[in-house]
Structure 1
């Protein structure tokens, strides 16, 4: 059912992933839950043990810039010549979690 005992849904939000080496890359979300997120990126994590994620989120006409510190869980080079990256939330605001929860519940 889920990727960390919390419902997750398809998501197409875009944003940026900031690596610890200073590199910033565009990403798009593939799945999201209140515990973790899966994104597709043009390159891998390059050894980053923690990353900053900024998502341009939208739900029911409301736009929000979600900022999260994440712990990488998985980085796989996929069949689309992109990196499929699973990230667990390390630090996220309660307001951002509530926004994601509303989105997930609406799309379950």
Structure 2
């Protein structure tokens, strides 16, 4: 199991994952932290070294669209024939990271 330096919490936000080959997938987030995010996707990375992630985030009635460039570290086919993809945030706005940090802190 991977050890995380910041709390890693369950997350059910939906969004879109954009691959470098032009494909996009409707995804949902399963876990999130200050540096990492895990999503479930209907298909894998198809060789993408970086991906664009957009999440429709909500916390305590406030909504935000989280947009980030991520570097994938794992793509695992799960028992539901979905791809479980773990990624590290590479490029994300401070305002969006602060929204994530507030969400994580409230759940840890």
**For the superposition of Structure 1 and Structure 2, which TM-score range results when normalised by the shorter chain?**
over 0.9
Question: Could you say which residue in structure 2 is the equivalent of 1:17?
Answer: 17
Question: Could you say which residue in structure 2 is the equivalent of 1:7?
Answer: 7
1:46-102 deviations in Å (ceiling 9; x for gaps):
000000000000000000000000001100000011000001000001101100000
Counterpart check, 1:90 vs 2:90: yes
Listed as ranges, the gaps of 5+ residues in structure 2 are none
Work out the CA distance in 2 between the residues paired with 1:70 and 1:58: 20
Number of matched residues?
108
Question: Could you say which residue in structure 2 is the equivalent of 1:29?
Answer: 29
SS in 1 for 2:73: strand
Deviation at 1:25, TM superposition (A): 0.3
User: CA-atom RMSD, angstroms?
Assistant: 1.3
In the TM superposition, structure 1's runs of 4+ consecutive aligned residues that sit over 6 Å from their partners are none
Query: Normalising by structure 2, what TM-score?
Result: 0.97
SS in 1 for 2:44: coil
